[in-house]
Amino acid sequence: MLSVIITKIQNHNTSYILLSKLHYKLSPSLTILLSFIIIIIIGTALLHTTWATETGSISFIDALFTATSAVCVTGLTVVDTGSFFTTFGKIVILCLIQVGGLGVMTISVGLFRWMGRNITYKQRSIMQNLFANGPTEHIFDLVKSVLFFTAMVELVGAGILILFWIQEFPIRKAIFYGIFHAVSAFCNAGFSFFPDSFVRYQGNIILNVTVCALIIVGGIGFPVLYDLKLFIKNKRSEIKYRLSINTITVLITTSILIGIGTLLFAISEKDLLLNNQNFQLKQLLIPLFQSITARTAGFNTVDIGSLRDSTLFLLILLMFIGASPGSCGGGIKTTTAAIIVCLGINRIRSNKRVNLFKKSVPQECIDRSTSIVLLAIFFIVLVLFMVLLDSNPTLDVQNGRRFLQILFETVSAFGTVGLSMGITSSLSPWSKSWIILMMIIGRVGILTFAYSVLGNNTKNGLVYSEEKLMVG
């Protein structure tokens, strides 16, 4: 008996050593990707159990799609979350959203430090990748701030929503609804228990403002929130603390996108908003809400499928840009969009350098931004073509808008937004598989996914004699 126990301990130690060596050899990018995939697999297994659904069954592809959408904080759904899943299933989705929003490594590093274990250099590298080259020397302070701030914001948001829904639902239901939607909004997940999302509350200022605030705070990025915290903390000190260029760029770009998105949505959908001659609050709340939610969250207060093509194109552009680096959202990110715009302006002016707020942007950032945009377009075109290639389309085509519907769905998955023209449940298993891939790419980051698959070994390559090409 003793020999059996010793043998099991030795086997356990051997397995632990092998796993440790494997973890050490994995690149930070591949580690991030695998961590999300593992959580998706666990979530799929839990949602596929008989306890998770009211009917006691769900197809594997639908369970996988839902788990991926939750972990990647996207919000695209193939079934009605509120009526299809049991309380157990909804709690599983809530946990997947929370873990996916914060990131598996963020939670694990926080737990390691809570247990008194030191953070290794490998973990610092992974956290730096997650938080877009955040301050590695204060990485634990950043992680601690992320966890604490997330808990506080979600509690406040949940409290407001509970007080709002307690007038409509029984207290236990109101509490569950408040917590779920607060977490879903802060993590920019877009999951809702209502089949029409928040269309029924399109004119309610309390719900609209609360959800919008949660979306914005969760979408501007944890490094920005950490920088703002240090700025406020050191505001009265003798040493003047200045916000980083990243924080300033994120705040200004986010404000511009919200403002322009609101204005253009209102102009494009003036017939929808001005159907009543008397001014109503919802005429302002609808374009503001959709401008904010379109870049990352996925809630909606209007029927997306009924919007005009010009409005849908606007939403596609906002979804493509997405949230900010180090946040819960996807897309190419606000800073990337800002750099690309500044690059174009400086090239038109024949300036070789790209300057932002009296600071020169390193060439590495410019090259990285260009690569992100090109890879994003490549993957969107690839997935779009693969879904269009579906030999047996079963989509609910509206007025010949199949191409627009699929493009909208694909970009929504890449931006981890979750808005849809109503075709998600009609997608075939082939199409769902490609949308699942797109959601994963959008959540882990386009470059992180590319590095995890192709590696990140920088090579200078061979240098030959130059010869010009005719371009333009």
Neighbours of 23 (CB within 10 A): 13
Report phi then psi at 45, rounded to 5. Answer: -65, -40
Which amino acid is it at 117? R
Q: What is the pLDDT of residue 22?
A: 47
DSSP-derived secondary structure for 385-427: HHHHT-SS------TT-HHHHHHHHHHHHHTT----SS-GGG-
Q: pLDDT at position 400, please?
A: 62
Report the alpha-carbon angle 144-147-150, nearest 5. 140
Residue 419 is predicted with a pLDDT of: 92
Asked whether the beta carbons of 332 and 321 are under 8 A apart, the reply is: yes
- What one-character-per-residue DSSP string does 78-147 give? SS-HHHHB-HHHHHHHHHHHHHHHH-HHHHHHHHHHHTTPPPPHHHHHHHHHHTTS--GGGHHHHHHHHH
Q: Which residues have a Cβ under 8 Å from the Cβ of 82 and sit 6 or more positions away?
A: 192, 193, 194, 195
3: tokens are 């020999």
Q: What is the pLDDT of residue 100?
A: 86
Residue 16 is predicted with a pLDDT of 39
Tens of each residue's pLDDT in the chain, 472 residues? 434 433 443 444 444 344 445 455 566 677 778 888 999 999 999 999 999 999 988 999 999 999 999 999 898 999 999 899 999 999 999 999 998 887 655 655 554 455 445 555 555 555 555 554 444 456 666 777 778 888 899 999 999 999 999 999 999 999 999 999 999 999 989 899 999 899 999 889 999 999 999 999 988 888 888 888 888 877 766 667 788 888 999 999 999 999 999 999 999 988 777 665 556 777 888 999 999 999 888 899 999 988 999 999 999 999 999 988 878 788 899 999 999 999 988 888 888 888 888 888 888 888 889 999 999 999 999 999 999 988 555 554 555 678 899 999 999 999 999 899 988 888 989 999 999 999 999 888 887 777 666 666 656 667 787 887 877 6
The total of other beta-carbon atoms located within 10 Å of residue 99's CB is 21
The predicted pLDDT at position 270 comes to: 85
